[in-house]
Copies of this chain bind each other. A is one copy, B any other.
Amino acid sequence: MRTELRKSGVEESLQPVHLQALMYLARANRYSNTPQALAEYLGLTKGTVSQTLLLLDRRGLVERFEDDIDRRVVRLRLSTVGEQFLSDSQPTLSWANATRNISPNRIRNAVSALREALTQLQLDNEGSTFGACNSCRQCQRLSQRVSRCGLMGDRISGPETRKICWFFEPKTEEVA
């Protein structure tokens, strides 16, 4: 998979880590679009990630702007060019194709097992557990279209509940 990532980036002379950063930012929700969250996600130091973002900014793939209420934090988002690049290069396409002969049911089971292992791994290492609102303990369903985050107190739209959050807490079904 890393080899595939490398191929996807070679055209724009981007390294695998750059692709991973772009892919993360495309899926990060409003609490998670910061250098710090990205560093946590990638397992790198904030200094390293700062350099990565500097490069992506120079290339015009991401935009950086400061937070309204805490002026220390930097908010990140993909630029139009960045989104276009991601949808053109499709870094995960070949992996998705490789699963074409596997039944949806087997895929669901494998994904479920892998997700469980990942959550456990993150808990063991006291790292952040990234995940989507719709499987987060804090998510409260308000209506068909709107949810609410019990941790932050904000209303979350339907599409945003499928984005990745830094404060994700797995639903406790026996975290032995």
Contacts and interface: CB of A to CB of B under 8 A. Distances in A.
Give the number of copies in the complex.
2
A126 to B, nearest CB: 12
Contact of A95 (B98, B99, B121): B121
Interface in A8-55: 43
A73 interface: no
A25 to B, nearest CB: 19
A107 interface: yes
A99 B43 CA distance: 20
B98 A124 contact: yes
A17 to B, nearest CB: 10
Interface of A: prevailing SS: helix
A72 to B, nearest CB: 25
Contacts of A118: 98
Interface residues of A, number: 30
B113 A102 contact: yes
A116 interface: yes
Given A43-B2, A94-B125, A125-B94, A101 B113 contact: no
B110 A94 contact: no
A116 B100 CA distance: 10
Given A43-B6, A101-B176, A176-B101, A114 B110 contact: yes
State the 9 A-B residue pairs at the shortest beta-carbon distance, nearest first: A3-B43, A98-B121, A110-B110, A98-B120, A110-B113, A98-B117, A99-B117, A106-B113, A102-B113
10 contacts: A3-B127, A4-B125, A94-B125, A95-B117, A98-B120, A98-B121, A98-B124, A107-B113, A110-B110, A110-B113
